[in-house]
Structure formats: C-alpha cells, structure tokens
Structure 1
Amino acid sequence: MVAITLPENYGAVIAVALGAIPVLGFIQGAITGSTRKAAKVPYPHSYATVEQCKENPKAEQFNCAQRAHTNFMENAPQTMLFTLVAGLKYPQLAAGIGAAWVVFRCMFLYGYVYSGKPNGSGRQIGAFFWLAQGALWGLTTFGVARHLISY
C-alpha cells in the first residue's frame, strides 16, 4: 500500500487544475456555440467552409473560436495532469505556472476570436501558454526523477 501525503497548500493546485482549467473549457465551449449560431454553421459541421467565410465574417470568427477551443481540448488534459503531479512536490510553483497557463490561454482565445486579425493571427499574443505548459512538464519530470532517485 502506498500513502500519498499532500502538501498543506495543495488546494491551490487543485483549484487551478480541477477548477480554473475546466471552467475555461466551459467558457470556450460557450463562445464557440454562440459564434456558431451567428455564423449559421449547422451541426454536425465542425467548421465553416471557405465560401461561407468569404460571405460572412462571423463564419471566420466561428472557425477561429472552434480552432481555439479544439487547441484547448488538445492541451488541457496534459496540463491538468502536469499541474497535479508537479504540485505534489512544488505546490506553489505548480499552481502559479498553471494559473499563468490559464491567463495565456485566455489571451490566446481573445486574440484568436476577437482581435479581427487575419487568419487568427491575433492568437500569438497568448502563445506563451506553450512556455507555461513546457515548464509544467519540466517541473513534473524533475519532481518525478527526484523522487525516483531518492529511493
């Protein structure tokens, strides 16, 4: 049997990984749904066509919202896991980096959907989420390696 002792301030880690990140996913889903309606893109179509985008700027905005949400869904699970695992050894640092990831993802979403820049290039303002995500991966790897070496 293995007992896991959680650090006293692990609540902040849980708040980020199992609170803020899923809430952001819900918000992105709601934004995607509202832009879908404005773009008049029916289900089950995932994206507006090139022709629809040429006729309706809202269709392009929907495509940007859809891609931002899909990118979030591709990256959120590993980020949540890295935050939870890294937080076992470095709770304050993991919670802080995880919170930074959420802020950068908000900037990414805003830039992608609302900046009005062509081809969604406004997303670049929040692309620093990759650095935060890499830092969480590195912190997780370092913490696990350190734990394994101590045995």
Structure 2
Amino acid sequence: MVEISIPGNYGYAIAVSLGVIPVLGFIHGVLVGSCRKAAGVPYPHAYASIEQCKANPKAHQFNCAQRAHGNFLENAPQTMLSILVAGVKYPQAAAGLGAAWVVFRTLYMLGYIYSDKPNGNGRYNGMLCWFAQAGLWGLSAFGVAGDLM
C-alpha cells in the first residue's frame, strides 16, 4: 500500500493549478473572441487568411491571439498536473513556479497579441515561462522518484 500525505500548504498549489491557470485560459478566450469580432473573421474559420491579414491588421492580430491561446492550451494541462504532483512534496516551490509560469504566460499572450514586433515576436517577452515549466517537470520527477526510492 502506498500512502500519500498532503502537506498543510498544498492549497497554494491547488489555487494556482485549478484556480489561476483556468482564469488565464478564460482571459485568452475573451481576447480571441474580441479580436475575432474586430477582424470580422466568421466562424468556423480558426484563422484569418493571408489575404485578410494583408488587408486588415486586425486579422493578423486575431491570428496572433488565436495562436497564443492555442499554445496556452497545449501547455496548460501538463503544467497544471506538474504543479499538483510537485506540490505533494514541494507545495510552496510548485505554487511559486506555477505563479511565475502564469506571469510569464501572461507576458507571452500580451506580447503576442499587442506587440508591434513582426511575426508575433512580441511573444518572446514571456519566454521565461519555459524555465518555470521545466522547473515544475523537474520537481515532479524528483519528488516522485524520491518517494519511490
């Protein structure tokens, strides 16, 4: 039988993983929707065409918002899980890295959507999110491996 004891401050990890990160996902959705409306890109089209982007800068902005949201959706589940797993052994570190990830993902999102840099290069404002994410993977692996030994 395996026993898992949850530390008293595990709530911080839960708050970031199951509270703050979903709120950021909601904000992404709102921004995509407002950019879609401003660009005049109808459903079910996921992106504006190259021609639409050349004719309307708002269409390009919509594509950047859509891609930022897609990238968030590709990374949020594994990050949320890593926070929860790492938080069993390292709740404050997991919550701290998770909060840093949220801050950097917010910079990534805002830079991608609103920067004047070409080719969506404003997203590089938040690229440190990858270090926070890697730290969470490491804490998760180290915490689990430590318990197995």
Shorter chain as denominator, the TM-score bin is over 0.9
What's 1:18 paired with?
A: 18
What's 1:75 paired with?
A: 75
Deviation by residue 1:80-116 (Cα, 9 ceiling, x = unmatched): 0000000000000000000000000000001000112
Aligned length: 149
Q: Partner amino acid for 1:104?
A: F
Q: Partner amino acid for 2:68?
A: A
Q: How far did 1:47 drift?
A: 0.3
Counterpart Cα distance in 1 of 2:5 and 2:34: 43
Q: How does 1:33-112 map to 2 (within 5 A)?
A: 33-112=33-112
> What is the percentage of aligned positions where both structures have the same residue?
68
SS in 2 for 1:41: coil
Counterpart Cα distance in 2 of 1:34 and 1:14: 30
- What TM-score do you get using the length of structure 1 for normalisation? 0.96
Counterpart Cα distance in 2 of 1:83 and 1:141: 11
Q: Partner amino acid for 2:72?
A: F
What's 1:121 paired with?
A: 121
Gaps of 5+ in 2: none
- What TM-score do you get using the length of structure 2 for normalisation? 0.98
Q: How far did 1:49 drift?
A: 0.3
Counterpart Cα distance in 2 of 1:32 and 1:127: 20
Counterpart Cα distance in 1 of 2:77 and 2:31: 20
Gaps of 5+ in 1: none
Counterpart Cα distance in 1 of 2:64 and 2:91: 34
